[in-house]
Amino acid sequence: MDITPDVVVTLRPDEVFVFGSNASGQHGGGAARVAYERFGAVWGEGHGHHGRSYAIDTMSGLGVLASEARAFLTYAAEHPDLRFLLTPVGCGIAGYTPEQVAPLFAGAPDNVTVPSSFAPFL
């Protein structure tokens, strides 16, 4: 399992920044703001791949986050030519712990890196 850098400021051409968003895609703070300012996240789009970023809704409840995680893992598996840098989604403003969120990403394909805080729970 590869670990996502604690701070991502640049991406290689094949890399995608995976961040937590809200359903309405208001990317005002944290990793969402970085995704919007640096990696092509689209204001108003709170789900999926846009530019060099991938949004996961972390603000609509743990059940929605679980569904979004499954959709992301399927997408990543279908795009083996890309490397997805998963940030600690859900563990900021959404208020979840790595222990709650990390298992949602268990079995991630090899092209997904995980934050170091998730590693003990995978």
pLDDT at 113: 98
> What DSSP state is assigned to residue 120?
G
The domain over range 15-121 is classified in CATH as 3.40.220.10: yes
pLDDT at 1: 87
Q: Is the pLDDT of residue 78 over 90?
A: yes
Using CA atoms, how far residue 89 sits from 13, 98, 114, in Å, is 22, 9, 10
Q: Is the pLDDT of residue 33 over 90?
A: yes
Contact 111, 79 (CB under 8 A): yes
Mean pLDDT of 97-106: 98
In the structure encoding, which two tokens stand for residue 56, read together? 């996961």
Q: Is this model's pTM higher than 0.85 or not?
A: yes
Q: Is 4 exposed, middle or buried (0-12, 13-18, 19+ CB in 10 A)?
A: buried
1-11: pLDDT as tens digits:
899 999 999 99
- Phi and psi at residue 69, to the nearest 5°: -65, -45
Using CA atoms, how far residue 57 sits from 1, 13, 83, in Å, is 24, 25, 20
Q: What value does the mean pLDDT of the chain take? A: 97
